[in-house]
Chain A
Amino acid sequence: MRVLRSLSTPGKYVALIAYLVFLAFPLLWLLSTALKTPPEIARIEPTIIPENPTLENFRVAFEQQPIARALLNTVVVAGTSALITVVLSIPAAYVMARYRSAVSRLTMLWVLLSQLFPFILVIIPLFLVLRNAGLYDTQLGLIIVYVVWSMPFALWMLRSYVSGIPVELEEAAAIDGAGKLRALREVVAPLLVPGVVAAAMFAFVSAWNEFLFALVLLRTPELQTISLTLVKFIGADGVARLGPLAAAALVATIPSLVFFAIIQRRLVGGLLGGAVKS
């Protein structure tokens, strides 16, 4: 089945490249800075290509902070959070979209409230809850918090994706003899994949980059996540050791990019074509 006309006009490519330069130039800057010596970084004429490229910054960064360990910790925490968030949210979102009920409305209210109320003001009460539950300084505590706090968004998004799927599709499948569950599995679920991908990405990235709560909850150096490790290169008065920071930041950014490169394939449509015969 032919999809849209392929990009033929150069104008579109130009626009795309302009966008990508705007969005992705920092990656280049990170790479460039990570390979420069401190005096070169402090030069008044910024250069893209380092004159004396060196891997010293990487060596220093890895030597002074447990970066590999932190990466592993963060992968575990972010991955688990994303997985659990999505698994718990899909059925709940379906119910909220299809069934008008008091529970759905209450849940919507909670979703809105938790997005509206500034997280930073909830940190201390939340911290006390976790400490009283014996979860201080545990990865599990962090995962629970991330799951519970990404769910509102996941629910909101998935609910609107489910709403976008016409009920007639499920009913048509039912008419065709498929049971309710089969209708869900074969008709609704495939259409929901892009939404699930988006929700999983959100949960993963927000857990990956989260800083403040990890800072207050974790104490043991072995449990540190990568964002906690990065700030160790920053000192008082905004002064930073840019070389090692850029090296560490590069290492911290890549996994999210890789994760997305893998799952973005699922952000493809075309499964809808032919599902409903008019």
Chain B
Amino acid sequence: MTSTRTPTVRPPAPEPIAAQPRRTFLGLNREALFLAVPALIPVVIFSLYPLLRGIYLGFTDARAGRDLEFSFTGLDNYATMLGDSYFWESFRIGLVWAFGVTILQFFASLGLALLLNQRIRMRWLARTLAIVPWAMPQVVIGIMWRLVYHPNAGILNSVLKDLGVIDSNVEWLTSLSLALPAVIVVGVWAGMPQTTVVLLAGLQSVRTELVEAAAVDGANAWQRFRAVTWPALRPVAFAMTTLDFIWNFNSFGLVYVLTQGGPGGATRLPLLFAYEEAFRYGNYAYAAALGNAMVIVMAVFVVLYLRRRLKEAD
């Protein structure tokens, strides 16, 4: 029915976006498809395929060698893995490392992000300096921290002795008990910028007038944080913590340069272990199986964590 009156009436409220009827392909209408698909083409070739192949190798007996054929062996690698005490040890170390670094990293970065969000002088400088660990190439980080931890020529021992905290040189990276904590500190140091930047970006979506309103209502800083800031920050914080945990568990380069898994295997993370299997002994299949095992364990943690968070969010 056509109306002859000039349209002063408001256009109808837009349909809720989530429910798109008609002409959908895998749930997306055409325009959505256009938006999403271009990104996905190279992804399939250069990411999905190698990933799937890497995963598949974990079920074979592939080894290094020219023109070597390999065959499907099902779950053989996993049976071996279950009996491999070195694997379990590296797994334990990986969990200690991942939890340690992720938790410390999160709280440290949150504090820093809150500070960097405020109006301070030379804020651009403070923010830029905060990402130095990120900007430094990993090989340099490894060498530098090794020198910091050096028993007699390193600045850590030197400063601690000057402050009177210790009276003789501590062997940070070579003591069986101190190596993992020492390495965790470096992990936190190296991972802080990423988390800080992400949290800082997330803090920008906090509605400032709500914070002001809360302040006017007499709420102190902690109450303001809990009531206004944190709810807005939560999705980003959870996403980032999950990713950080995954990345930390999968961490390789940093610890490799620092300690190569020593002393006595005290810092041999799961991925160092898998790396050695693949690149030193040529056991591609076993290494891939280790990778698969790590994926499954990570997936379990992630699912449990996210489920708990989602429950709490409700």
Residues of A at the B interface (CB closer than 8 Å) are 1-7, 12-13, 15-16, 19-20, 22-24, 26-27, 29-30, 42-46, 88-89, 91-92, 94-96, 98-104, 106-107, 110, 112-122, 124-126, 129-130, 144-145, 147-149, 151-153, 155-157, 160-161, 163-165, 167, 170-171, 174-175, 177, 191, 194-195, 197-198, 201-202, 205, 208-209, 211-212, 226-227, 230-231, 234, 238, 240, 242, 245, 249, 252-253, 256-257, 260-261, 264-265, 267-270, 272-274
Chain B 1-45 interface mask (CB, 8 Å, partner A; 1/0): 000000000110110011010001011100011011011101101
Question: Could you count the A-B residue pairs with CB atoms below 8 Å apart for me: how many are there?
Answer: 316
Residues in B neighbouring A27, C-beta threshold 8 A? 129, 132
B14 touches A99 (CB 8 A): no
A-B contact pairs, 9 of them (CB 8 A): A1-B209, A4-B211, A6-B119, A125-B49, A129-B49, A153-B243, A161-B236, A253-B137, A272-B207
A100 touches B47 (CB 8 A): no
Q: A161–B233 Cα gap in the complex (Å)?
A: 10
Known: A157-B239, A260-B128. A102 touches B27 (CB 8 A): yes
Known: A112-B299, A163-B235, A264-B128. A7 touches B202 (CB 8 A): no
Q: A272–B204 Cα gap in the complex (Å)?
A: 9
Q: Does B68 contact A (CB under 8 A)?
A: no
B13 touches A175 (CB 8 A): yes
B51 touches A113 (CB 8 A): yes
Shortest Cβ distance from A101 into chain B, in angstroms? Answer: 3
Q: Does B197 contact A (CB under 8 A)?
A: yes
Q: A163–B287 Cα gap in the complex (Å)?
A: 37
Q: Does B193 contact A (CB under 8 A)?
A: yes
B130 touches A156 (CB 8 A): no
Residues of B at the A interface (CB closer than 8 Å) are 10-11, 13-14, 17-18, 20, 24, 26-28, 32-33, 35-36, 38-40, 42-43, 45-51, 53-55, 57, 108, 111-112, 115-120, 124-141, 143-144, 146-148, 152-155, 158, 189, 192-194, 197-198, 200-209, 211-212, 215, 232, 235-236, 239-240, 243, 246-247, 250, 252-253, 271, 274-275, 278, 284, 287-288, 291-292, 294-295, 298-299, 302
Q: A144–B50 Cα gap in the complex (Å)?
A: 14
Known: A23-B192, A89-B39, A160-B239. A273 touches B208 (CB 8 A): yes
A160 touches B235 (CB 8 A): yes
B278 touches A120 (CB 8 A): yes
With both beta carbons as reference points, the residue of chain A lying nearest to B128 in the complex is identified as A261
A156 touches B155 (CB 8 A): no
A191 touches B118 (CB 8 A): no
Cβ contact of A116, chosen from B205, B209, B298, cutoff 8 A: B298
With both beta carbons as reference points, the residue of chain A lying nearest to B256 in the complex is identified as A120
B201 touches A161 (CB 8 A): yes
Residues in B neighbouring A238, C-beta threshold 8 A? 146
Shortest Cβ distance from A4 into chain B, in angstroms? Answer: 6
Cβ contact of B124, chosen from A102, A194, A264, cutoff 8 A: A264
A145 touches B46 (CB 8 A): yes
Cβ contact of A267, chosen from B11, B17, B18, B127, cutoff 8 A: B127
Q: A7–B122 Cα gap in the complex (Å)?
A: 12
Cβ contact of B27, chosen from A99, A155, A212, cutoff 8 A: A99
Known: A16-B120, A46-B155, A115-B246. A121 touches B28 (CB 8 A): no
Q: A253–B129 Cα gap in the complex (Å)?
A: 11
**Residue with the highest number of chain B CB atoms closer than 10 Å, among A26, A102, A145, A152:** A26
B208 touches A4 (CB 8 A): yes
Cβ contact of A46, chosen from B32, B111, B154, B302, cutoff 8 A: B154
Shortest Cβ distance from A170 into chain B, in angstroms? Answer: 8
Q: A76–B216 Cα gap in the complex (Å)?
A: 50
**Residue with the highest number of chain A CB atoms closer than 10 Å, among B144, B194, B207:** B144
A117 touches B54 (CB 8 A): yes
With both beta carbons as reference points, the residue of chain B lying nearest to A180 in the complex is identified as B14
B209 touches A23 (CB 8 A): no
**Residue with the highest number of chain B CB atoms closer than 10 Å, among A124, A130, A201:** A124
Residues in A neighbouring B201, C-beta threshold 8 A? 161, 194-195, 197-198, 267
Known: A3-B208, A194-B205. A29 touches B32 (CB 8 A): no
Residues in B neighbouring A89, C-beta threshold 8 A? 39
Q: A191–B202 Cα gap in the complex (Å)?
A: 10
B137 touches A211 (CB 8 A): yes
B153 touches A43 (CB 8 A): yes
Cβ contact of A157, chosen from B133, B155, B198, B204, cutoff 8 A: B198
Q: A6–B158 Cα gap in the complex (Å)?
A: 37
Residues in B neighbouring A120, C-beta threshold 8 A? 252, 271, 274-275, 278
Other than A29-B147, A208-B135, A234-B139, give 16 A-B pairs with Cβ distance below 8 A: A4-B119, A19-B111, A26-B133, A46-B158, A92-B39, A99-B28, A101-B24, A104-B28, A125-B57, A129-B49, A161-B202, A163-B235, A164-B236, A170-B17, A202-B194, A273-B207
